[in-house]
Chains A and B, each alone.
Chain A
Amino acid sequence: MGRIASDRWGWLFLALLAGTAVLYSCRTGQGGAGFEDAARAVYVPPGEYDEFYAFLSGGFSGQVTVYGLPSGRLFKVIPVFSQHPENGWGYSEETKPMLQTSWGFVPWDDAHHPQLSQTDGVTDGRWLFINANNTPRVARIDLRTFETEEILEIPNSAGNHASPFITENTEYLVASTRFSVPVPQRDMPISQYKGNFQGTISFIRANEPGKMRIAFQILVPGYNYDLANAGRKESAGWAFLTSYNTEEAHTLLEVNASQRDKDFVAAVHWKRAEECVAQGAGREVAAEYRHNHLGPDRAGHSELLTSVRILEPKDCSEMIFFLPTPKSPHGLDVDPSGEYIVAGGKLASVIPVHSFSKMLQAIRNKDFEGEVDGIPVLRYEAVLAGEVQNPGLGPLHTEFDGRGYAYTSMFISSEIVKWQLGTWQVVDRVPAYYSIGHLMIPGGDSAQPWGKYVVALNKITKDRYLPTGPELVQSAQLYDISGDKMRLLLDFPTLGEPHYAQAIPAEILRRQQAQIYPLEQNSHPHATKGEGQARVVREGNVVRVYMTAIRTHFAPDNIEGIRVGDTVYFHVTNLEQDWDVPHGFAVMGAQNAELLVMPGETRTLKWVPLREGVYPFYCTDFCSALHQEMQGYVRVSPKGADVPLSYSTGR
């Protein structure tokens, strides 16, 4: 560069000079806050591990995604409420029953809120739960296998949004309705909503795998119930939910449900409800809903349940109270101590914080300002701990760092606001790109936050990434919150819409990961336990192929005697017992995807051959140097042909 020709180059020169000076100062120990520092903070060198597992909901994808933090690397999509071509979830005969509902087979739903199991209010790494919104359900994912093992449908619910939120020892998942509807469902005019439609709050027994059950449902006024959090420590035994549309509007809610200055937080004393139920309160009501779970045979079993216990506020005194709360609140978050109940009033100009101890006091003093459908409404001033003034626009959701600070997402002003519990003063704010919905601090909704990072879960990315046509990726952003100032470290794309997330220190989960399914424990009714057992059996028009897979062949790999009109089940058992050696299975003419079979398990593909011929099958998951040799043929003869059934390998 010969000479400084313009302002621009002059500016560059100064910048270089300044940069060099700073760089020099860094070497002598002064900190810097640029992007290289951020890059360093999120860079996980090849072969090293992330510090946290993060579980993000896929929103309209219906699935859960697993990321590493701080790197933002995607590890896995865990299929839950939607079919998943990557591993055959909802396609294989074993997993189809998992997507059964009282409405039949539902291949795609909308999943919002992952929730880790807790012991004494601390996330314990056993299970992850998540809701299906449209066809109301909750699912349990086992965190040793990262697999959905159980799904329970919820009757008398519509829009299972305030769900699932867990009590501090995983006694219950709390699941509430977004949409109030006629309960039970019946044909009636929509215009008669007010006073006739109702909501339900379900308490679901969650701490016994395979036995999730609705313990009871509380019938509540016809509002929209939005989000929830259970109490902890002193407030254990309670659950808190936000509501909006206390106007009970049934049309144009954006106007009609925004009339009142305050809606309600519902405080439910579930310990009290338990007592009432134990004494026989409430009534058993007919309802059809499904409970699906993977059995010890690793196959899905779906059972129809036919009744549920319903409790009304009048059946159980002092079970439920309303706390007036400004205005159309969304998030509801209890701080790690259990004392403060924070509501994110998305149309409010303050963040109201209720006090649990003041609430108890107000209940003792009967400091009520009214009553709705038998539910006492406490006086706002009597329960209020404080208000965060001028936090920003559209406060949605709050989490805690365990050091006395709260972090609230601001949807409209697109930022995270950090404020102090007790003083209610805003101490820092940082922009989010763009339109942050929920945010997540590892453990930040529990008694023990690991308050090092906050993840912003954003609704809109606009110009943040290379564009991909009209449909853009959704995204999350990682911020360092270990210092006084929040610091943006990383943007990373997400699959579907990340409504909410959970995270847990990697060490807790890493050590418990299953590597294989032990072959000797395989109790699948159509398992083939050893190549010597491989065979083909005809049962009328049904043909069962008991097939084994191992590097690098199938047995049998030549099959004859199948006829057009048969229904063939390929029951493929993977005989491998080593980590990371799945085999795949695909057969030409299959109308239903493929299989991916983990070591030691059996998976089944249903195949209805339509045309005579000789069709290949092969392994779809590269498994060894001879993977391309892992194949076979099945011969299909015309209907009524007399080709005998035969099968072989290596002959």
Chain B
Amino acid sequence: MVPVSIWRLRGVGRLMGLAWVVWALGGCGGESNRAVVAGGEAAQGTPGALTEEQIRNGIGPISRVEPGEIDPARVKRGEEIFALKCAACHRLDERYIGPPLREVTARRTPEFIMNMLLNSWEMTQRHPTVKEMLAEYFTPMPNQDLTEEDARAVLDYLRQARAEGGGGA
């Protein structure tokens, strides 16, 4: 009993008629049975102006940081992370793929720096300062999968770098 598709064997008119019947028969709603995309990147595109707070401190999970004393343990950890995940694009004292970073803690708030480390994609999409930087440097800063504690360590490393001072930029 090898079935043969009769649909191909008849005249065009019959085919059209069949097609119509098929379409009409199928006109009843079927239940939806698929998982809906959870979360995803739906949040990214939220339009609208940023708050003054967001302009100052960036967009992301960090709303407030008490920098306190520079913590040597964090500096050490931050230096490791910087070498592993940041140094491919950033130097302290010269422009490379991205801007030099020795003085970045003077230019930006701690919250801004940590939000950039943790939420670079949305920052690049929405924050006017970062958009301007993209126009200048071309390469958007990738997400490097840092935890908040990692970002805090990098922050202290950058504070220490500024405190130590260095060449140009």
Contacts and interface: CB of A to CB of B under 8 A. Distances in A.
Interface string B8-44: 1001011011101111111111100111110010000
Contact of B23 (A36, A552, A553): A36
B140 to A, nearest CB: 8
A578 interface: yes
A518 B145 contact: yes
Contact of B14 (A11, A47, A393, A516): A11
B138 A37 contact: no
B145 A516 contact: yes
Nearest to B146: A577
A550 interface: yes
Contacts of B85: 519, 530, 575, 577
A155 B59 CA distance: 60
Contacts of B30: 37, 40-41
B5 interface: yes
Query: Which has the most chain B C-beta neighbours within 10 Å: A44, A47, A575?
Result: A575
A516 B146 CA distance: 12
Contact of A51 (B14, B33, B40, B84): B33
B1 interface: yes
Given A32-B25, A650-B96, A550 B145 contact: no
B63 interface: no
Contacts of A197: none
Nearest to A552: B139
Interface string A14-55: 111011101100110011111111111100110111110000
A550 B88 contact: yes
Contacts of A520: 84
A11 B40 CA distance: 51
Nearest to A47: B37
B89 interface: yes
A5 B87 CA distance: 80
A268 interface: no
A16 B22 CA distance: 10
A622 interface: no
A551 B139 contact: yes
Given A44-B34, A576-B142, A34 B83 contact: no
B21 A34 contact: yes
B26 A38 contact: yes
B49 interface: no
Contacts of A188: none
Given A36-B23, A414-B2, A529 B84 contact: yes
B129 interface: no
B25 A431 contact: no
A35 B26 contact: yes
B34 A48 contact: yes
B125 interface: no
Contacts of B89: 550
Given A19-B20, A49-B37, A550 B27 contact: no
Given A48-B34, A576-B142, A19 B25 contact: yes
A415 interface: yes
A34 B25 CA distance: 5
A36 B27 contact: yes
A626 to B, nearest CB: 6
Interface in A1-20: 8-9, 11-12, 14-16, 18-20
Contact of B11 (A8, A35, A392, A529): A8
Contacts of B40: 47
Contacts of A575: 84-85, 88
Interface residues of A, number: 70
B3 interface: yes
Nearest to A29: B28
A32 B20 contact: no
A465 to B, nearest CB: 12
Given A11-B17, A51-B33, A532 B145 contact: no
Contacts of B27: 22-23, 26-27, 32, 34, 36
A577 B143 contact: yes
A625 interface: yes
Nearest to B29: A40
Query: Which has the most chain B C-beta neighbours within 10 Å: A15, A44, A51, A551?
Result: A15
Contacts of A512: none
Nearest to A434: B2
A369 B144 CA distance: 70
Main secondary structure of the interface of B (DSSP, over half): loop
Interface string A397-416: 00000000000000001110
B127 to A, nearest CB: 18
A45 B36 CA distance: 10
Interface string B38-69: 00100000000000000000000000000000
Contacts of B33: 41, 51, 70
A472 to B, nearest CB: 15
B58 to A, nearest CB: 18
Contacts of A41: 30, 33
Contact of B142 (A14, A553, A578): A578
Given A49-B34, A51-B34, A414-B3, A15 B20 contact: yes
A15 B1 CA distance: 28
A11 B16 CA distance: 10
Interface in A600-651: 624-626, 650
Given A15-B17, A49-B35, A577-B143, A23 B88 contact: no
Interface string B74-97: 000000000111011100000011
B44 to A, nearest CB: 14
A548 to B, nearest CB: 6
Query: Which has the most chain A C-beta neighbours within 10 Å: B36, B142, B143?
Result: B142
B24 A23 contact: yes
A72 to B, nearest CB: 13
Nearest to A20: B24
A532 to B, nearest CB: 5
Contacts of B88: 530-531, 548, 550, 553, 555, 575
A50 B34 CA distance: 6
A527 to B, nearest CB: 10
Contacts of A393: 1
B133 to A, nearest CB: 15
Contacts of B84: 519-520, 529-530, 575
B145 A19 contact: no
A455 interface: no
A433 interface: yes
Contacts of B97: 553
Given A41-B30, A551-B139, A530 B24 contact: no
B36 A48 contact: yes
Contact of A9 (B13, B20, B96): B13
Interface in B126-164: 138-140, 142-145
Interface of A: 8-9, 11-12, 14-16, 18-20, 22-23, 26-27, 30-41, 44-45, 47-51, 70, 392-393, 413-415, 431, 433-434, 463, 506-507, 510, 516, 518-520, 529-533, 548, 550-553, 555, 575-578, 581, 624-626, 650
Given A16-B17, A22-B24, A415-B1, 14 more contacts: A8-B13, A12-B16, A16-B20, A19-B17, A22-B21, A35-B22, A37-B25, A41-B30, A45-B34, A431-B3, A433-B5, A532-B87, A555-B88, A578-B143
9 contacts: A26-B27, A26-B28, A36-B26, A48-B37, A50-B35, A51-B33, A413-B2, A520-B84, A553-B97
